[in-house]
Amino acid sequence: MTTSTWTTREYVFAAMTAAALLLVASILIPFTLPLRIPGLANAVNGLFGSFFLVIGLIRLRRPGSLILITGIYALVCLAISPVISGFVMAGGILGELVCSSLFKGYRGTLAPVCGAVLYQMGMFPAAMLLSFCFLPERYGEIALWVFIVAEAAIFATALTGSLLGLKVARELARAGRLRLEA
């Protein structure tokens, strides 16, 4: 039986998932940003971020879970940069809108994977748009094919990370540590 309000345990789990996303980004992104390849940071982060996000969405299962996780993550990122906070929320909103309208939450296995992949893919265009607003000279000359290749790479790594997260979630369910519904 689900209640209409979030429990403290669910808030804590969402915060732990957001902390995992922040930790992964804090370790990986500083290595990829100096290379100045559009979408590389998102593609590398997509592999690991989607892994944790799928497990978090499977555990929380209800509509609004992606917004809860990314909202906590964006709130922490606000202390770093409003631009980062903005594209984190944009990815979360995109994933949540699609998954809430199509799947009515994150029950089963397809919805969490879809939500994690859409979140990762939604962050890159939002990051490019917000970065263009602040640094138009750096981002004004990017060719469309670069954007398409970057989105394809983000899709591939986010899907791989999501499927690995789903595999771990299934093992956790088999061990009795996570409830996984078909």
Q: What letters, b where the CB count within 10 A reaches 16 and e where it falls short, cover 121-135?
A: bbbbbbbbebeeeee
**Single-letter code of the amino acid located at 173:** A
- Residue with the bigger pLDDT between 20 and 131: it is 20
At residue 92, the pLDDT reads 97
* Closest to 160 in 3D by CA, of 83, 84, 51: 51
Q: Are 152 and 44 in contact (CB under 8 A)?
A: no
Residue 2 has pLDDT above 60, yes or no: no
Mean pLDDT of the chain: 92
At residue 36, the pLDDT reads 84
pLDDT in tens, 115-151: 999 999 999 999 988 888 877 776 667 788 988 999 9
Burial label for 118, CB within 10 Å (0-12, 13-18, 19+), is: buried
At residue 135, the pLDDT reads 75
At residue 134, the pLDDT reads 78
Question: How large is the C-alpha radius of gyration of the chain?
Answer: 16
Distance CA 138, CA 166 (A): 38
pLDDT in tens, 60-75: 999 999 999 999 999 9
